[in-house]
Every structure is written in structure tokens, then in C-alpha cells.
């Protein structure tokens, strides 16, 4: 078995002689990338707000944060059941993939504080 492995290794290595290593290049930045303009999503469902950010950024900004605007520290599990009351980034502000977006939300049957 060792002889077979050694022979195969020798064949593979011999086949690599004279082959130039491949070059690694990085892609240029996407001209369609950031910055984008933050939309006004207050009054939307939390799901709609998240979808709008993902659509706007072409999926380059996938994660947004949210919190319970009532201060009760409830988790926003079903995003379609929560309404956005506040956004920490004002509408019209330029955003990038490094921007941390946080929405304050309440359950759909509640009023914003």
C-alpha cells in the first residue's frame, strides 16, 4: 500500500513540474455597493422594514437589529407581528454595510410609545 501511495504521489508531483502557480486576485468593489440612502420605515411591519433594507442593499446588508420599544425587553419572534416605531438611522442618511440599524418596535395591536 505504501508503495502505491508513494508512486501516485511521485506521478502527481511530476505532473506539476513546469506549471506556474495560479494568481489570486481580488474583485474590484461593486460600483452598485454602498452607500445607500436610509428609507423611512416607521409604520411598517418589522419584516417589511428588514426586507426593504435587504432589497435596497441588494442583500449586502442582511442583518438589522430590533428591540421592544415599550421597554419590556420582549423578543421579536414573528417579525410580521411587530410594527416599527423608531429607527436609529434617520431617513435620508447614507448607510453602508458597516451601519448598525436598529428598529424599535411594538406588537401590531399596540401603539408606539
pLDDT of residue 29: 47
Beta bridge partners of residue 67, listed in sequence order = 104
What's the topology of domain 32-113?
Trypsin Inhibitor V; Chain A (3.30.10)
61 and 97 Cβ atoms separated by less than 8 Å: yes
**Could you tell me the residue ranges of all domains in the chain?**
32-113
pLDDT digits 0-9 by tens, 28-51? 445 466 799 999 999 999 999 999
DSSP string, 32-77: T-S-EEPP--TTSBHHHHHHHHHHHTTTS----EEEETTSS-----
Residue 83: exposure state from Cβ atoms within 10 A (0-12, 13-18, ≥19): buried
What's the pLDDT at 34?
Answer: 73
Q: Is the pLDDT of residue 13 over 60?
A: no
Amino acid at each position: 500500500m505504501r508503495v502505491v501511495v508513494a508512486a501516485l504521489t511521485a506521478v502527481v508531483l511530476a505532473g506539476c513540474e513546469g506549471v506556474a502557480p495560479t494568481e489570486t486576485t481580488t474583485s474590484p468593489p461593486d460600483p452598485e455597493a454602498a452607500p445607500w440612502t436610509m428609507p423611512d420605515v416607521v409604520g411598517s411591519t418589522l419584516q417589511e422594514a428588514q426586507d426593504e433594507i435587504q432589497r435596497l442593499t441588494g442583500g449586502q446588508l442582511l442583518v438589522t437589529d430590533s428591540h421592544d420599544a415599550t421597554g419590556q425587553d420582549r423578543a421579536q419572534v414573528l417579525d410580521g407581528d411587530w410594527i416599527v416605531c423608531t429607527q436609529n438611522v434617520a431617513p435620508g442618511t447614507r448607510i453602508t454595510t458597516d451601519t448598525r440599524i436598529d428598529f424599535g418596535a411594538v406588537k401590531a395591536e399596540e401603539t408606539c410609545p
